C-alpha cells in the first residue's frame, strides 16, 4: 500500500588507491561537539515510556460521543481531526534487557509513519523500537525528504553541517536529529536537488544516484563525528552501495568497528547501475564489474554490461537477511541472484518480520471510533458499522444496519502491483458479490494502466447517490456488488478498515513476508491468503485437521481464480454456519492473541548482530 539508519580520528581523511583522493579538514573540537549532541539526544529518548494495552472507556460511553459518518459528509470520515497519538509514551522500558547492548544504526529509504510507502517503513520502525526496548542504542538515518511533515518530528534540531562527495564535488550537507515515535532519527539533507518532491519516490532527480550519495553521506557523517556503531543495518537495493563504500573506502580510514547487515525485503528490485553511476560516489565502478563482485549476471556478454547494487550488497555485507524462512528457500531455488545467494549461503538468514504492536494496537488506536481487544471485542462491531455507514455500504436506518452488519466484510489493503495478484483481486470483486459479501480495496497503483483499470471497475456502476466532489478523489463505491475501491493512500483509513473487517484478503503471487495478514489478525480479521513466502509461515488453514491448534485462516495454493474461489467459499461458509456470533468471535479472539510482534522475532536479529560484532576495546 502506498498507505510505511552510520565515523574518524585525525584531521585529514584520505581515500585508498581505488578511490578518488580527497581531503576533508576538520577539527577535533567539531567532532567532539557533534558526538556530544548525539549522546545527549539518546539520553532524552531513553526517558520516554509506558505501555497501554487495554481499551479505554466503556462501549456505551463511546457510543454516546460517536458522530456517525455518511458518504455525503463534506469531509470523509478518515480525514477528520484525530487526537494526537504519541506512541513514544507507550514504548515499554521495564521489559527484560539484553545483557550485552549494542549500538545499531539503520540506514533506510523509508520509515513509518513519516516516510512510508510500503512495508519497509513499518519494518524499520518496528524493529528499531523492539531493539530499543531490549536496551540497545538505536538510530535511524533517513533522507530529509521535502515531503516529510516536520510536525511529526519531535525535537528537530540541526546536529552537524559537513560536506559529502558526489560526482567530483563536495556537497554541503546538514544532519538533523529528531524523535519519531520515540525513536532517535538522524535526517540527512543535501543542498543539491536530491530528495526534493511531493513524494518519497518519483522525484525529478536520479534516484539511484541520490541513494548512492545518501549512503556515502551517512558514512561521511560517522567519519566526521567519530561515531562507531557496532552494526550498520541497511535495507533494500537503495542502500546496497553502502557496504562497497565501507569496505573499499571508509574502513581504510577510521571506521574500524562497524559490521554490516543487509535486509532484502523484496528480491524483485535490484538497483541496476552503470559503472559510471557508481563512480559518481567516489568509487572506481570498473573494479566491481566481475561475477564475484557486482556485475549483473543477466548482462554478461552484452554491450554494455551493467552492475547490480543489490548483488554487491549481498557480497560485501557481513550478514544478509530476508524476511521469512519460506522466502529464503524460494530465493535459493529461483531467480537470477540464486547463484550469488548460494555462494553466500553461510551468511544468509531468513527471519520473519514482526509487526509494531505499539502502532498497530486496537486497544489504543486513536483512529478507531471504538477500541477493542481480544478480551473485550464489542468495539470491533462498532468499527464495522462505522466504516460501512461512512462508505455507504449500509443504510443509515438503524434497523437495516443491524441486518447488514451480518454481511461479511472483506478488506484488501495492498500496493496495486502484479506481485500482489491483481487478477485475483479483480476476480474477488466479482466473487464476493456472488457470495453476498462486501469488499473494500485500499491501495495505490504503480502505473496509470492499473489505476485506469480500477477506475473502470468503479465507473461500471452508478454511485450510491454520493456527490462526485467526494468519491472520485478517494473511494469508489459499487452499489450492486457492495464493494469499494479506494485509490488514494491513507494511513488512517487503513487502521479503520483492519478494525472493521471480518476477513483480510492477501492473494499475492509471491510475498517475501507480508504484514497485512499479521496486522489483520491483530485487529480480529481472519486472513485469506495464497500459500507463498511469509504468508505460508504465518497463516494455517482452518480446515487442516492435522494442525488444528495452529489454524487461523484460509489458505489456497494455485494462482488461478478457482483456487481463490475455494478459499473464499470456505471462509464465507464458516462465517455463516456459525449462527451464534460468539462462535465467530471465538476465532476472532484466537487470532488476536497470536503474538506476531517484533518482540517475538527481534531476538533473532540480535543473534545475527552478535555473531558478526567485533570489539575493539
Q: What is the CATH number of the domain that holds 181?
A: 3.40.50.2000
Q: Any idea which of 10-24, 70-84, 259-273, 478-492 has the lowest mean pLDDT? A: 10-24
Predicted confidence at residue 475, as pLDDT, reads: 40
**In a 3-state reduction of DSSP, which class is residue 20?**
coil
Give the integer Cα–Cα distance in Å for 391 and 476: 9
Q: Are residues 181 and 323 in the same domain?
A: yes
Residue 261 forms beta bridges with which residues? 233, 319
Q: Give domain status of residue 515, yes or no.
A: yes
Q: Are residues 392 and 540 in the same domain?
A: yes
Predicted confidence at residue 117, as pLDDT, reads: 87
Q: Give domain status of residue 26, yes or no.
A: no
Supply φ then ψ for residue 597, to 5 degrees. Answer: -75, 160
Q: Give domain status of residue 54, yes or no.
A: no
Domains in the chain, number: 2
**Residue-range definition of the domain harbouring residue 338:** 103-356
At which residue does the C-alpha cell 536520479 appear? 206
Give the integer Cα–Cα distance in Å for 433 and 427: 10
Supply φ then ψ for residue 87, to 5 degrees. Answer: -65, -15
Q: Name the grid cell of 514.
A: 507480508
Instruction: Write a three-state SS string for 344-388.
Output: CHHHEEECCCCECCCCCCCCCCCCCCCCCCCCCCHHHHHHHHHHH
Give the integer Cα–Cα distance in Å for 456 and 446: 16
Q: Which of 325, 356, 387 is the last residue of a domain?
A: 356
Does residue 535 register a pLDDT over 80? yes
C-alpha to C-alpha distances, 76 to 3, 70, 474, 497, 572, nearest whole angstrom: 16, 8, 9, 14, 30
465 and 477 Cβ atoms separated by less than 8 Å: no
Q: Give domain status of residue 29, yes or no.
A: no
Binned at pLDDT 50, 70 and 90, residue 64 comes out as low
Rounded mean pLDDT of 320-348?
97
Q: Give domain status of residue 609, yes or no.
A: no
Q: Is 230 exposed, middle or buried (0-12, 13-18, 19+ CB in 10 A)?
A: buried
Predicted confidence at residue 43, as pLDDT, reads: 54
Q: Give domain status of residue 39, yes or no.
A: no
Q: Are residues 300 and 443 in the same domain?
A: no
Greatest CA span in the chain, whole angstroms? 79
Q: Any idea which of 291-305, 389-403, 572-586 has the lowest mean pLDDT? A: 389-403
Instruction: Write a three-state SS string for 231-270.
Output: EEEEECHHHCCHHHHHHHCHHHCCCCCCEEEEEECCCCCC
Q: Are residues 561 and 522 in the same domain?
A: yes
Q: What digits encode the pLDDT tens for the residues 480-527?
A: 334 555 544 688 999 999 999 999 999 999 999 999 999 999 999 999
Q: What digits encode the pLDDT tens for the residues 303-328?
A: 889 999 999 999 999 999 999 999 99
Does residue 8 register a pLDDT over 50? no
Give the integer Cα–Cα distance in Å for 136 and 419: 35
Q: Are residues 394 and 465 in the same domain?
A: yes
Residue 166 forms beta bridges with which residues? 169
Predicted confidence at residue 16, as pLDDT, reads: 34
Q: Are residues 298 and 420 in the same domain?
A: no
Does residue 232 register a pLDDT over 70? yes
Q: Give domain status of residue 92, yes or no.
A: no
321 and 608 Cβ atoms separated by less than 8 Å: yes
Q: Name the grid cell of 584.
A: 465467530
Q: Are residues 323 and 472 in the same domain?
A: no
Q: Are residues 332 and 418 in the same domain?
A: no
Prediction pTM value: 0.85
Predicted confidence at residue 96, as pLDDT, reads: 83
Q: Are residues 263 and 402 in the same domain?
A: no
Q: Give domain status of residue 13, yes or no.
A: no
Q: Are residues 324 and 396 in the same domain?
A: no
Give the integer Cα–Cα distance in Å for 392 and 465: 9
Q: What digits encode the pLDDT tens for the residues 88-120?
A: 655 555 578 999 999 999 999 999 999 998 889
Give the integer Cα–Cα distance in Å for 377 and 379: 5
Amino acid at each position: 500500500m502506498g498507505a510505511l539508519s552510520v565515523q574518524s580520528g585525525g584531521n585529514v581523511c584520505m581515500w585508498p588507491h581505488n578511490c578518488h583522493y580527497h581531503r576533508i579538514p576538520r577539527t577535533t573540537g567539531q567532532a567532539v561537539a557533534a558526538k556530544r549532541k548525539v549522546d545527549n539526544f539518546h539520553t532524552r529518548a531513553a526517558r520516554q515510556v509506558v505501555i497501554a494495552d487495554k481499551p479505554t472507556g466503556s462501549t456505551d460511553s463511546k457510543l454516546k460521543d460517536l458522530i456517525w459518518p455518511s458518504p455525503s459528509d463534506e469531509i470523509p470520515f478518515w480525514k477528520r481531526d484525530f487526537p494526537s497519538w504519541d506512541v513514544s509514551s507507550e514504548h515499554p522500558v521495564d521489559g527484560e534487557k539484553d545483557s550485552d547492548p549494542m549500538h545499531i544504526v539503520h540506514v533506510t529509504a523509508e520509515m513509518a509513519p513519516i516516510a512510508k510507502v510500503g512495508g519497509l517503513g513499518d519494518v524499520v520502525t518496528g524493529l528499531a523500537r523492539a531493539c530499543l526496548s531490549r536496551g540497545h542504542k538505536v538510530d535511524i538515518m533517513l533522507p530529509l525528504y521535502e515531503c516529510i511533515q516536520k510536525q511529526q518530528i519531535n525535537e528537530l534540531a540541526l546536529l552537524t553541517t559537513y560536506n559529502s562527495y558526489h560526482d567530483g564535488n563536495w556537497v554541503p550537507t546538514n544532519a538533523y536529529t529528531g524523535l519519531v515515535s520515540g525513536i532517535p532519527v538522524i535526517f540527512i539533507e543535501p543542498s543539491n536537488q536530491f530528495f526534493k518532491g511531493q513524494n518519497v519516490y518519483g522525484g525529478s532527480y536520479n534516484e539511484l544516484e541520490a541513494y548512492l550519495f545518501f549512503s556515502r553521506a551517512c558514512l561521511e557523517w560517522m567519519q566526521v563525528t567519530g561515531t562507531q556503531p557496532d552494526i550498520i543495518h541497511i535495507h533494500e537495493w537503495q542502500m546496497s552501495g553502502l557496504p562497497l563504500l565501507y569496505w573499499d573506502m571508509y574502513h581504510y580510514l577510521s571506521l574500524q568497528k562497524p559490521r554490516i547487515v543487509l535486509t532484502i525485503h523484496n528480491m524483485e528490485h535490484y538497483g541496476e547501475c552503470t559503472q559510471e553511476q557508481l563512480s559518481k560516489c567516489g568509487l572506481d565502478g570498473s573494479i566491481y564489474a566481475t561475477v564475484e563482485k557486482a556485475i549483473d549476471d543477466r548482462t554478461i556478454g552484452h554491450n554494455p554490461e551493467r552492475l547490480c547494487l543489490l548483488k554487491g550488497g549481498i557480497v560485501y555485507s557481513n550478514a544478509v537477511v530476508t524476511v521469512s524462512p519460506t522466502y529464503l528457500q524460494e530465493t535459493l531455488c529461483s531467480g537470477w541472484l540464486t547463484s550469488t545467494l548460494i555462494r553466500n549461503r553461510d551468511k544468509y538468514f531468513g527471519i520473519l518480520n514482526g509487526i509494531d504492536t505499539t502502532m498497530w494496537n486496537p486497544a489504543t488506536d486513536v483512529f478507531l471510533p471504538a477500541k477493542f481487544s481480544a478480551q473485550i471485542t464489542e468495539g470491533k462491531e462498532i468499527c464495522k458499522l462505522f466504516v460501512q455507514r461512512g462508505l455507504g455500504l449500509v443504510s443509515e436506518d438503524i434497523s437495516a444496519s443491524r441486518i447488514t452488519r451480518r454481511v461479511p466484510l472483506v478488506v484488501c489493503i495492498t500496493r496495486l502491483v502484479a506481485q500482489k495478484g491483481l487478477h485475483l483481486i479483480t476476480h474477488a470483486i466479482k466473487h464476493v458479490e456472488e457470495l453476498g459479501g462486501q469488499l473494500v480495496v485500499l491501495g495505490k497503483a504503480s502505473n496509470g494502466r492499473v489505476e485506469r483499470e480500477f477506475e473502470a471497475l468503479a465507473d461500471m456502476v452508478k454511485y450510491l447517490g454520493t456527490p462526485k466532489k467526494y468519491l472520485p478523489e478517494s473511494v469508489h463505491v459499487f452499489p450492486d456488488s457492495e464493494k469499494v475501491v479506494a485509490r488514494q493512500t491513507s494511513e488512517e483509513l487503513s487502521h479503520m478498515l483492519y478494525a472493521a473487517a471480518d476477513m483480510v484478503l492477501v492473494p499475492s503471487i509471491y510475498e517475501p513476508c507480508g504484514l497485512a495478514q499479521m496486522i489483520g489478525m491483530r485487529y480480529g480479521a481472519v486472513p485469506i491468503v495464497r500459500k507463498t513466502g511469509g504468508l505460508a509461515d504465518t497463516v494455517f488453514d482452518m480446515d487442516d485437521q492435522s494442525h488444528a491448534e495452529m489454524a487461523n485462516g484460509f489458505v489456497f495454493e494455485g494462482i488461478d481464480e478457482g483456487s481463490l474461489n475455494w478459499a473464499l467459499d470456505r471462509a464465507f461458509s464458516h462465517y455463516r454456519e456459525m449462527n451464534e456470533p460468539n462462535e465467530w468471535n471465538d476465532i476472532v479472539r484466537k487470532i488476536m492473541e497470536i503474538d506476531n510482534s517484533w518482540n517475538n522475532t527481534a531476538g533473532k536479529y540480535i543473534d545475527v548482530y552478535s555473531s558478526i560484532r567485533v570489539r575493539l576495546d
